[in-house]
Structure 1
Amino acid sequence: MPSLGFGEARHDATFVTRASDHFLRLSRSSIDDTITQNLNALETPARAGFDPASTSRLGPRPLSHQIDAAACSTFKHKVLFPTWQVRSDVLSYCSLVATSPDPDDPERALREAEHEKDRERVVDERLDPYSARFFPREARTEYLASILRQEMGPRNSDTMAPQTLSTREANLFRTVIRYYEDKQYKRGLKAAEQILKRNPKHGDTMSMKALILNAQGKTDEAFALAKDALTIDMKSYICWHVYGILYRTNKNFDEAIKAYKFALKLEPDSHQIQRDLAVLQVQMRDYQGYIQSRFVMLKARPQLRQNWTALAIAYHLDGNLQQAENILNTYEKSVTTTPLRTDFENSEALLYKNTIIAETGDIERALEHLESSCKNCLDRLAVMELRARYLAQLGRKEDAAKAYRALLERNSDHPDYYKCLVDALGIPTDDEAALKAVYDEYAAKNPRCDAAKRLPLDFLSGDLFRTAAKAYLTLMFDKGVPSTFANLKHLYSDAFKKESLPVLAEEYLKEHSGSSGAEGQANGDSSKGEGAALYFLAQHYNYYLSRDLSRATEFVEKAIELDSKNVDFHMTKARIFKHQGEVAKAAEAMDHARLLDTRDRYINSKAAKYQLRNDENEKALTTMGLFTRAETVGGPLADLTDMQCMWFLTEDGEAWQRRGDLGLALKRYHTVFNIFDIWQEDQFDFHSFSLRKGQIRAYIDLVRWEDQLREHPFYFRAALDAVNLYLSMHDKPQNGANGVEGSHANGDDAAERKKAAKKARKEAQKAEREAAEKAAKQDPNKGGAQKSKDAEDAKKKDDDPNGAKLAATTDPLGDAMKFLWHLLQFSPKNIEGQIAGFEVFIRRNKYLLALRCLKAALAINKGHPKVLEQATRLRKALGGDLGSLAPKVKEVIESELASVPGA
């Protein structure tokens, strides 16, 4: 083995750069040339001697032929494997020379012990990107490669040259990485400082220090240090990668992508950087860039099926279904062994390919592929459902009916199977007897099946409906099922059914009221059926389509007389109070219901909700605290925020808004907004996880759901509340601390509101302190784990817990736009969102945008009084400003405004 020029003292880490560079280059090229030459000879064996003149002529393309198996075996065992072994020996020798410790080093034993621990580490792919350094077979070679790159860097630059670490400091650098991964930031920072004390211009250490500072919440300092590291070592891919990580953790994904791309220019073979870039690209929906990244990753590791699947997904999300199918076909052709039946990844990949074929519209081919390739897939239910759907789409009614009957044998309570079976059988919608016969068949087969008895009530009418409804109500009342009304209230859109159901319930009451003796004992509790019927009638008269609150109160009181400890009866009584406008009584009644069963989380949440409706924020928080973790720092509110309890946050914000504390109200609305941001960022965990686990179809559904995430009703409600609050803040500038409304600032009411808000804040802070003290006393011996948790909690500390900064905004309309854009984009069919959009834009003098919202609202409901009033206001606002607009804008507004009624 030739010398690398390290000198006699092998523990010295400095070596002759040019010699090592030439050595590695020549060894690699000689090994690669040997493999290439033998492979070419194997593929195209010579038929005649070499003729120099033949190179100037283009001969016919040789016919494809099968290579002799013996020749392949000879090539593999005598050429390929030995050359790979030589290459491994070269790298092992280089890494041994580069990382050999100083025999006189007193800390040698300690470092070797740490190295053995590193070998045993289980590295999780979701840890820091540089955790790959701890893989036993890659650590030393990567270390050598790093030294070579540092030595081969700016050869001609004498200023700001990156420094090379000694063996001892290189080992210390590895401990910095380990401390960072273990979240021992103080130790990692101390170790980094030790390295930088001797090597103040070492860019990689500066970058790791920047990562640690960023993890501690010192973002500005981290970015400044990372920029200094780049200034010192512009050619370090590690520095650029870390720079991208900093941008990613601070949600500046565009800049992170730029940094990753530059890092890849310096180190094109880095799988980790390429993967980080791909994840960011799909997160940002840059599907063209994602395709390119996945193609590069596939070329680097074509033996991994997930790389092929990922490229197919990239094409699929980009809308290129044909290319996605081709990628999957190419991999299947390259597989020479038959996958096991228990291979989950193969099963899901086949079903995923089938869904791609179906999305192209070729249902016949999708059915053929399903029956030929997916017959042994592990998800049998998905195969059966897809087959039934394809048969129905192809018009093969008889086969489709058989398929749906097979599905009903598996699950007779699935309502969609019944509807699809009826369609496959071709039964007309007006043939009620034939339709009912289908449901009766399965009701007889499965006596406990609810769907077969309930679904016919959707299409039956007249006497058939009354007969079926009476049988269903009798069955449910006899069992004492409390959800009977919830199962049937959708029928109230039909006037006949709405009138028939209470009549049948009262008939049941007449037949069963006061039943006793042998009959009552034979059927169990004689009051069960009567109580269920009374409860049904109370809900019926409390329902908005059939509301009669006096009769609802009468029936619920009778039900409570039968069973005074029934939680459902008292809940309905509280709802009746709410609909009567007696919010305080409703809250009191719901809390009474809660006390009947203190272990029921649902009734506990209902009681808290009614307390919030009564503007009892502190009491509601205490009630919710009965089911939150006592050890959570910050008390019940912090735990509810961590658990993303959006209904509570929204109701709490609305209650604070009614009480005049706009700061806390805005705080709650922004918290809900941030929760949806968290859901958006949670995708990061699944871009790689889903590929590793083979959950491809679920991943596609996730991406499509995330694209419409802010259509969620919880987001719409909180965002609309925030926009309306910002509008009121713009119209009525605030006066006083924490956003107490200034419109009452000249009277006793303003003083009372300020006093109440101040008292509420003090009580909230007191509750948080008590919860923190309780958590500290609960387990004083948690040691290092508790310290790490405390450090993380300190990082998450909120610098504006009461929303004072939010309420002190000088641009409420600008802040409202943060919520409004999502409302208009994801809920364009909701008239309340369009009305709020008009109000914001008209105040900002954005007349075109205001006109667009107005026309959208008119398309939804022309007769809405607020919309008609807005049309008049727009015409009035344009009267003075129309002449100052650009000619094209003026022309568009006038032409569009002409079609607006009332404008």
Structure 2
Amino acid sequence: MAPPPSPQPLGSKERSLFTQVVKNYENKQYKKGLKAADQILRKSPDHGDTIAMKALIINSQGNTDEAFALAKVALKLSMKSHVCWHVYGLLYRSAKNFEEAIKAYKFALRLEPESQQIQKDLALLQIQMRDYQGYVQSRRAILQQRTSWRQNWTALAIAQHLAGDLVDAERTLTTFEETLKGVPPKTDIEHAEAVLYKNSIIAEMGETERALEHLDAAAKNNPDRTSVMELRAKYLLTLGRKEEAAKAYRVLLARNPEYRAYFEGLQSALEIEKSDVKASKDLYSDYAKQNPRGDAARRIPLDFLEGDDFREAADQYLQHMLHKGIPSTFANIKALYPDTAKKDAILQLVEGYAVGKARPLANGSAEKQSNGDKDLFEPSVRYFLAQHYNYHLSRDLNKAMKYIDEAIESAPESVDYHMTKARIWKHYGAAKKAAEMMEMARTLDARDRYINTKAAKYHLRNNDNEAAIQNMSKFTRNEAHGGPLGDLHDMQCVWYITEDGESYLRQGKLGLALKRLTSISSIFEIWQEDQFDFHSFSLRKGQIRAYIEMVRWEDSLREHPFFSRAAISAAEIYVKLYDQPNLAHGSLSNGVNGDKMDSAERKKAEKKARKEREKQEKAEAEKKDGKKAAVDQNGEPKKEDKDPKGGLLLQTSEPLVEAMKFINPLLEFSPRNIQAQQAGFEVFIRRKKFLLALRTLVASHALSPSNPITHEQIFRFQQTLSKLSEPLPPKAMEVINAEFHTLLPASTDLAKHNNEFLRQHHDSASHVQACLKVRQLIDPSTTEKNQQDVIRTLALEGSSLEDAVRGLELLEEGKADPKYKNDYLAAAHERWPEASAFEKKAD
């Protein structure tokens, strides 16, 4: 067997050109780099290193397939070249195939063990992949090559820390400190941060006493004074040195008297028990006197005071805030509302103010209010009451509307008042009126970005996507590629893209909905990848503690609510595409359900949709022909979006496989999200992955045993198993029998079990709806009775607007008799006359 080929040598001129190729690549001068590479290859066509660099440049220009093909040629010509293997790794890294990139780097290191660049690239991928043990080895190798750099010592300590070896991490930092010839100056921020990082490691080891000693000795003059003081107070409290801890927390409160954690620390240091209301009240009263303009010392006592003490403190607090006309008064108070007694006391006080019964405060300040303050007080009281009656724990929308109208009458230019009126309309279910009112609020202060975004959000909730993007365009770079929407994507405006996608989903425009929801997933992938640069950047800047926080935050990135919302909605669309393949051909593009058409109507609708799509594509192609190619900030051509409407996303032949791209990270990173488990069930049951479906059922049941959707899914699982054409493998059945029968025992009378669940939750519309679905599943002959019972759920006292909308969807899914649907719409319209969902349908 012939040995693998070695790198081909170059002449002096070509070596100089090769160096120039590398520099051109590093400086992003790709055209010059390609020209120089071609010049070398004309004389030495088999020079693998040059071919490899050419592949790297071509990849940077966006031609990934061609780059990989060239890189493979380079490897065949120079199998023993570390450059070729390094480039091969870089190509895999750019393709986000980190496992293969690591393999290539390791092979390159065998050929060139002394290469710091390859070693650093390997280390960065290892930390990105959370291969902590490999990262420790790589960082130790880098340190051995350059022991004089603090960054290399700190990086090794970080690697050991993340790998869980705290003792070695501290030892590494200490070893470097011992090499220092003198005490670093106070201006050495990198050293100051390293000292605090070492202190955090000692504390994490549980050696609080030593952490305090180290803090006092090494960090006394640290420029991050706040961190040092907070850590010292925390350590003293942990060690039981209460007197010193109290003193430390008082110093912190003198710096920031609005930080609740400092008050909590001081209470613990003073050994004031929660049950000792008098001592707690005296403590906060002293601080309220010391800081007359502060809020925390007045607000916090409302959490623990009861009875007359609470009423007196609440009276003082509310009058103080309302006389000043502070809009956030209700936002500060509403956390008390779960306590019914406190909620009622607050309402009595504020309603008393509304009829002129504001009592003089202890210091007489209520009597000394100026006319200007009185002018603020009355509308502020009405504004508070409007928010009170709009809040879900004390909702009475008619009263809320009455009070907000009175407040607006007294202050017609108030943005806050108009925003609250829009929220009231939202809770009425009147999406159009809510959007109009929020738009009116926006016009009162057109330069305010917050109210602009709120107006855009309300337009989206009203499914008016054009009005929403028009609003957003007032604060975007509209010259960006793709216009305002393109800029929102570039700026990763997650809230807007999510709301936009959900709006299209409600309208049945599944292509556009998928396009937006997939963009959310892509943004989270970018955030995951963006940490790559910080692995080296944080070391250069010496921001170690912040870096550790970032790494740990990234590990739970996909627990973020926006990702969950987008992933669950995307999975829902793919399930619809699996159940109704015609939707991929535009049957639902205008909200029409293809399942409700006969074959002739369906063919006609599909033909019309196809013609409209072809017409639109032709118009867009003509539009592009008349435009210059878009370029990015470096002058390189931007990639054109070949599927702006999401049509290609809908055309997938395997919708459930696509759904798994969203479900897998959901289940991995948000296992306690019951909606994620339920979405996973819907996908797994259709993929006939019964063990995985069972696992999601068990998880859902553990999270909420009485959840109505889980109740329905348990019965669907049982029905699916009972109708299998072929039996499952014995081992699978053994697991299912062991696990599933804890949820629904084999001997259970299904109808009786469902009726018992209905009896237990007869006053909950969502539970009743789930039971009706199960009843239909068990006995299809009950269809008419079920439709009648759906209508009866509207009369339940606790039935909400959301429940009513779900009931309507249930009738539509079951292809209810038009009579029952009309009856349902009439009853729903009578109960929620302002709700858009039942508007103009009652007739």
Q: Tell me the TM-score normalised to structure 2 length.
A: 0.82
Count of paired positions? 733
**Paired residues of 2:577 and 2:584 also in contact (CA < 8 A):** no
More deviation in 802-811 or 523-532? Answer: 523-532
The letter of the residue matching 2:134 is G
Map of 2:739 onto structure 1: 896
- Find 1:742's aligned residue among 594, 601, 619: 594
**Paired residues of 1:535 and 1:569 also in contact (CA < 8 A):** yes
Task: Report matched runs for 1:333-412 at 5 Å.
Answer: 333-412=178-257
Matched, 1:464 2:297: no
User: CA separation in 1, counterparts of 2:114 and 2:314?
Assistant: 70
**Paired residues of 1:397 and 1:425 also in contact (CA < 8 A):** yes
Q: Structure 1 residues 371, 760: closer, same or farther in 2, change over 3 A?
A: farther
Task: Report matched runs for 1:740-779 at 5 Å.
Answer: 740=589, 742-743=594-595
1:296 is displaced (CA, Å) by 0.5
User: CA separation in 1, counterparts of 2:346 and 2:617?
Assistant: 50
- Find 2:465's aligned residue among 610, 617, 628: 617
**What secondary structure does 1:734 align onto?**
helix
Q: Structure 1 residues 664, 396: closer, same or farther in 2, change over 3 A?
A: same
Q: Structure 1 residues 598, 218: closer, same or farther in 2, change over 3 A?
A: same
Map of 1:844 onto structure 2: 687
- Find 1:443's aligned residue among 263, 282, 288: 288
**Paired residues of 2:594 and 2:602 also in contact (CA < 8 A):** no
User: CA separation in 2, counterparts of 1:761 and 1:363?
Assistant: 72
Map of 1:684 onto structure 2: 532
Q: Structure 1 residues 187, 744: closer, same or farther in 2, change over 3 A?
A: farther
The letter of the residue matching 1:169 is E
The letter of the residue matching 1:322 is V
1:391 is displaced (CA, Å) by 1.4
Map of 2:702 onto structure 1: 859
- Find 2:520's aligned residue among 672, 687, 711: 672
- Find 1:789's aligned residue among 633, 643, 649: 633
- The alignment-based identity, stated in percent, is 56
User: CA separation in 1, counterparts of 2:104 and 2:75?
Assistant: 11
Map of 2:410 onto structure 1: 562
Task: Report matched runs for 1:264-343 at 5 Å.
Answer: 264-343=109-188
Q: Structure 1 residues 750, 344: closer, same or farther in 2, change over 3 A?
A: farther
More deviation in 470-479 or 162-171? Answer: 162-171
Matched, 1:700 2:526: no
The letter of the residue matching 1:674 is S
1:508 is displaced (CA, Å) by 2.0
**What secondary structure does 2:356 align onto?**
helix
**Paired residues of 2:386 and 2:401 also in contact (CA < 8 A):** yes
User: CA separation in 1, counterparts of 2:430 and 2:618?
Assistant: 27
1:792 is displaced (CA, Å) by 3.5
The letter of the residue matching 1:833 is A
**Paired residues of 2:324 and 2:373 also in contact (CA < 8 A):** no
Q: Deviations over 1:598-652 (max 9, x none)?
A: 1111111111111111111122111111110122111011100011111111111
Map of 1:434 onto structure 2: 279
Q: Deviations over 1:406-440 (max 9, x none)?
A: 11111100011111111221112122221111111
Task: Report matched runs for 1:50-69 at 5 Å.
Answer: none
The letter of the residue matching 1:814 is V
Q: Whose radius of gyration is greater, 1 or 2?
A: 1
User: CA separation in 2, counterparts of 1:410 and 1:197?
Assistant: 71
1:191 is displaced (CA, Å) by 2.7
Matched, 1:196 2:48: no
Map of 2:476 onto structure 1: 628
1:170 is displaced (CA, Å) by 3.2
Q: Structure 1 residues 318, 412: closer, same or farther in 2, change over 3 A?
A: same
1:856 is displaced (CA, Å) by 1.2
Q: Structure 1 residues 443, 762: closer, same or farther in 2, change over 3 A?
A: farther
Task: Report matched runs for 1:166-205 at 5 Å.
Answer: 166-205=11-50
The letter of the residue matching 1:721 is S
Map of 1:243 onto structure 2: 88
More deviation in 520-529 or 178-187? Answer: 520-529
**What secondary structure does 2:581 align onto?**
coil
User: CA separation in 2, counterparts of 1:569 and 1:767?
Assistant: 47
- Find 1:214's aligned residue among 59, 68, 72: 59
Q: Structure 1 residues 174, 654: closer, same or farther in 2, change over 3 A?
A: same
Q: Structure 1 residues 628, 744: closer, same or farther in 2, change over 3 A?
A: farther
- Find 1:809's aligned residue among 652, 665, 671: 652
**Paired residues of 2:492 and 2:523 also in contact (CA < 8 A):** yes
Map of 2:828 onto structure 1: none
More deviation in 572-581 or 759-768? Answer: 759-768
1:188 is displaced (CA, Å) by 2.5
Query: Structure 2: any 5+ residue segments left out of the alignment?
Result: 359-365, 747-843
Q: Structure 1 residues 901, 462: closer, same or farther in 2, change over 3 A?
A: farther
1:756 is displaced (CA, Å) by 13
More deviation in 822-831 or 595-604? Answer: 822-831
User: CA separation in 2, counterparts of 1:865 and 1:521?
Assistant: 54
Q: Deviations over 1:664-699 (max 9, x none)?
A: 111111100011111111111111111111111111
Map of 1:75 onto structure 2: none
Cα RMSD for the two superposed structures: 3.0
**Paired residues of 1:634 and 1:768 also in contact (CA < 8 A):** no
**Paired residues of 1:173 and 1:192 also in contact (CA < 8 A):** yes
The letter of the residue matching 2:554 is E
The letter of the residue matching 1:830 is N
- Find 1:423's aligned residue among 240, 248, 268: 268
Q: Structure 1 residues 360, 731: closer, same or farther in 2, change over 3 A?
A: same
User: CA separation in 2, counterparts of 1:519 and 1:359?
Assistant: 55
The letter of the residue matching 2:228 is V
User: CA separation in 2, counterparts of 1:752 and 1:811?
Assistant: 20
Q: Deviations over 1:686-729 (max 9, x none)?
A: 11111111111111111111001111111111111111111122
User: CA separation in 2, counterparts of 1:444 and 1:613?
Assistant: 46
Q: Tell me the TM-score normalised to structure 1 length.
A: 0.77
1:279 is displaced (CA, Å) by 0.4
Q: Structure 1 residues 550, 313: closer, same or farther in 2, change over 3 A?
A: same
**Paired residues of 1:868 and 1:902 also in contact (CA < 8 A):** no
1:887 is displaced (CA, Å) by 2.5
Q: Structure 1 residues 547, 762: closer, same or farther in 2, change over 3 A?
A: farther
Q: Deviations over 1:282-321 (max 9, x none)?
A: 0000111101101101110111111111111111111111
Matched, 1:483 2:310: no
Map of 2:393 onto structure 1: 545
The letter of the residue matching 1:562 is S
Q: Structure 1 residues 883, 662: closer, same or farther in 2, change over 3 A?
A: closer
